[in-house]
Each structure stands twice: as structure tokens, then as C-alpha cells.
């Protein structure tokens, strides 16, 4: 079944530890995104990637890094986790790039989310 797979589903880790959230899509979408969702706030963009080999910073990038070695995978790494990074993380993808001028055709597909608790 085509879609996005995120792992882990849930994780508790100690502050200061390194953590990588995995995201894989099989739809051959160009663009991929990482969002965090916190109570009372809308989804906020952490990092994005237009296409394999390129990445960009979103609204809340500090403390996070990403890589896009190929079309399918877009891991999110917390180099040294802090309690404020406790959140639910969603990976998403779309068939068109971040800078695309085309309108109305950009379907957005989400993963199931990864709940991260930093103690």
C-alpha cells in the first residue's frame, strides 16, 4: 500500500541523547517535510526537502537536522535532545517541490506520526 512509513511510533529518551526519526515514502514524491505538532499550536514545519540531495529550514529548525540521500527516505535527527522537543512529529510528502509555481495540484500525504518524549 502506497504511503509514508514513520518509525518509531513512540519513543521516550533522556535529555542529551541523539535520536533519529525515520521516514520512508513509496510514492516517488519529490518533496518531503517534517512537522511537529504541539497542543494548542498548528503543525509547524521543521525542515523540508524539494528533491533528493537538497534540504531547507522551516519555521522551527533549531536542534534538528535532516538529510535526503534518495527520493524515498527523509530522516530527522535530534543531535542532543532537550525536553522542549517533546512533541508528535509528522513526516509528509507531496509530488511537487517547495518552490514550484504550479498551483492546485500539490497533494499532501502524512505519515502516522512519531510521539517523542524527552525527559
Partner 1 sequence: KNEVEQSPQNLTAQEGEFITINCSYSVGISALHWLQQHPGGGIVSLFMLSSGKKKHGRLIATINIQEKHSSLHITASHPRDSAVYICAVRSNTGNQFYFGTGTSLTVIP
- Smallest distance from the beta carbon of 88 to partner 1, in angstroms? 7
Q: Which is nearer to partner 1, 82 or 112 (CB)?
A: 112
Q: Site map for partner 1, 3-32, x if CB under 8 A?
A: ------------------------------
Identified binder of partner 1 from the candidate list 7, 13, 27, 43, rule CB under 8 A: 43
| Cβ within 8 Å of residue 63, ≥6 positions away | 78, 79, 80, 82, 85
Interface pick for partner 1 out of 45, 63, 67, 95 (rule CB under 8 A): 45
CB 22 within 8 A of CB 66: no
Distance in Å, CB of 4 to partner 1, minimum: 10
- How are beta strands 10-13 and 114-118 bridged, if at all? parallel
Binders of partner 1 among residues 51 to 110 (CB under 8 A) are 58, 88, 90, 97-110
**48 binds partner 1, rule: CB under 8 A:** yes
Question: What ranges make up the beta strands (E) of 8-113?
Answer: 10-13, 19-25, 31-37, 44-49, 56-57, 64-66, 76-78, 87-94, 109-110
- Measure the CA–CA gap between 21 and 19, rounded to whole angstroms: 7
Sole residue written with cell 528533491: 51
Applying CB under 8 A, the residues found at the interface with partner 1 are 33, 35, 40-45, 48, 58, 88, 90, 97-110, 112-113, 115
Amino acid at each position: 500500500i502506497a504511503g509514508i512509513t514513520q518509525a518509531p511510533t513512540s519513543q521516550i529518551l533522556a535529555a542529551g541523547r541523539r535520536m533519529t526519526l525515520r521516514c520512508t515514502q513509496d510514492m516517488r514524491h519529490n518533496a518531503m517535510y517534517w512537522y511537529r505538532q504541539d497542543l494548542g499550536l498548528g503543525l509547524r514545519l521543521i525542515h523540508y526537502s524539494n528533491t533528493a540531495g537538497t534540504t531547507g529550514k522551516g519555521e522551527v529548525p533549531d536542534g534538528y537536522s535532516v538529510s535526503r540521500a534518495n527520493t524515498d527516505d527523509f530522516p530527522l535527527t535530534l543531535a542532543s535532545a532537550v525536553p522542549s522537543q517533546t512533541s508528535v512529529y509528522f513526516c509528509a510528502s507531496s509530488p511537487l517541490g517547495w518552490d514550484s509555481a504550479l498551483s492546485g495540484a500539490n497533494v499532501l500525504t502524512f505519515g502516522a506520526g512519531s510521539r517523542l518524549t524527552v525527559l
